[in-house]
Structure formats: C-alpha cells, structure tokens
C-alpha cells in the first residue's frame, strides 16, 4: 500500500498541472485500500485532467467517507462548472462529518458562501480530525473581511472548549494564519 501511494505521489509531482493523467492513476481510484484511493484523487486533482472527472465522480459513492471527501474536492478542481450541480445534490444527503468537510471545502472553493456555515458547524464535530480539517480549510479560504471576523470568533470559541491537544494546536495555527484574534473595539 505504501509503495502504491508513493508511486502515485511521484507521478503527480512529475505531472502536476499538465492536464494529462496516466491510466494507472485513474484506475487507482478503485484500489482496495482507501488511502491509495485518496492519494489517487489528490493526484488527479493536482494533474488537472478534466477527462478524469468521471473517475472522481464515481468516488462520491465510495464506502469510505474520507474518499468521498477527497472526491468532492477533486471534482471542484477538475471541472467546477459540472461539479457544482453534482455537489449541490450530493452534499445534503451526506451523513458523515468526515465526508461533509470535503464537500464544504469544494463548495466554498466554487463560491458557495453557504458552505462557510457548514465548515463553522464542523468546528464542533465530535471527531477531532474533522475539527482540525475544518479549521485548516477555514484559515486557508479566500474570505471577505466580515467572514474573517466570523471565522476568528468561531475558532476562538472552539479553542475555548477544545479538549484535545491535536485540535487545539490546529486551531491555534489557524488563528495565527487568520491574524490576531478578534477583539471588539471600544468606541470613543
């Protein structure tokens, strides 16, 4: 499994942005191992071959929530116009918070500002990995000034109750990337 992942990563690094994905990367989206499928989706995203859209779309029905998450992001990158309608239909049906974080990231990247609310809710997920992923996506997103303030507040609120070291560290890093914590200014 590790060798397959490393091979896919090396191929993607060689072909990043070329728009031509080799057949072995496409077929790796059907590998028995979920991590290989995730790496294959990342490779397709990085290579940017729109002809691989169907392979990424098929992964939206994968049994692994992690694979579905990466598939959503890959679709948004490969062909945002086609992905928008597909993600708009699939996102409300998704029950796994692990998968929902990828759906929200993809929709936000496509300009759906409602996805921001989904990511803010995911900061309160029961799964610390989901909280970490949501914080990272939010801190890296292209946000309007008012949204940045809202995200800073939400991250500060999440930090105030975060029980895990891993998520606390991620939230603190996200807060740093977003700038100083929001503080209400007194009017003179």
Tokens of 17: 């942005």
* Residues 158-175, mean pLDDT to the nearest whole number: 96
Residues shown for the chain: 188
pLDDT at 81: 95
pLDDT, tens digit (0-9, with 9 covering 90-100), for 172-184:
999 999 985 444 4
Q: Which residue bears the tokens 């116009």?
A: 81
Task: Give pTM, 2 decimals.
Answer: 0.90
Residue predicted with more confidence, 55 or 186: 55
Tokens of 141: 């997103």
Tokens of 40: 């294959």
pLDDT at 39: 97
Burial of 93 (0-12, 13-18, 19+ CB in 10 A): exposed
Categorize the per-residue pLDDT at 13 as very low, low, confident or very high, splitting at 50, 70 and 90. Answer: very high
For the chain, which residues make up each domain, given as ranges? 1-112, 121-180
CATH topology for the 1-112 domain: 1.25.10
Q: What percent of the chain has pLDDT over 70?
A: 95
Helices (H), 79-144: 80-90, 97-109, 114-122, 128-140
pLDDT, tens digit (0-9, with 9 covering 90-100), for 24-72:
999 999 999 999 999 999 999 999 999 999 999 999 999 999 999 999 9
* Residues 89-116, mean pLDDT to the nearest whole number: 96
Cα separation values, 61 from 14, 58, 165, Å: 29, 6, 33
Q: What percent of the chain has pLDDT over 90?
A: 92
pLDDT at 179: 83
Categorize the per-residue pLDDT at 9 as very low, low, confident or very high, splitting at 50, 70 and 90. Answer: very high
pLDDT beyond 90 at 117: yes
């Amino acid at each position: 499994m590790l060798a397959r992942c490393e091979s896919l990563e090396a191929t993607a690094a060689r072909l990043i942005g070329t728009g031509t994905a080799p057949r072995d990367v496409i077929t790796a989206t059907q590998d028995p191992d979920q991590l290989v499928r995730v790496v294959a989706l990342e490779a397709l995203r990085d290579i940017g071959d729109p002809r691989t859209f169907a392979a990424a779309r098929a992964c939206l029905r994968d049994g692994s929530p992690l694979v579905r998450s990466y598939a959503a992001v890959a679709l948004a990158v490969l062909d945002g116009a086609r992905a928008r309608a597909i993600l708009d239909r699939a996102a409300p049906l998704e029950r796994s918070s692990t998968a929902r974080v990828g759906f929200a990231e993809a929709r936000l990247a496509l300009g759906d500002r409602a996805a921001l609310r989904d990511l803010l809710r995911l900061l309160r997920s029961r799964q610390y990995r989901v909280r970490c992923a949501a914080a990272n996506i939010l801190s890296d997103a292209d946000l309007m000034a008012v949204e940045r303030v809202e995200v800073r507040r939400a991250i500060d609120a999440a930090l105030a109750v975060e029980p895990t070291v891993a998520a606390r560290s991620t939230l603190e890093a996200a807060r740093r990337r977003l700038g100083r914590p929001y503080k209400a200014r007194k009017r003179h």
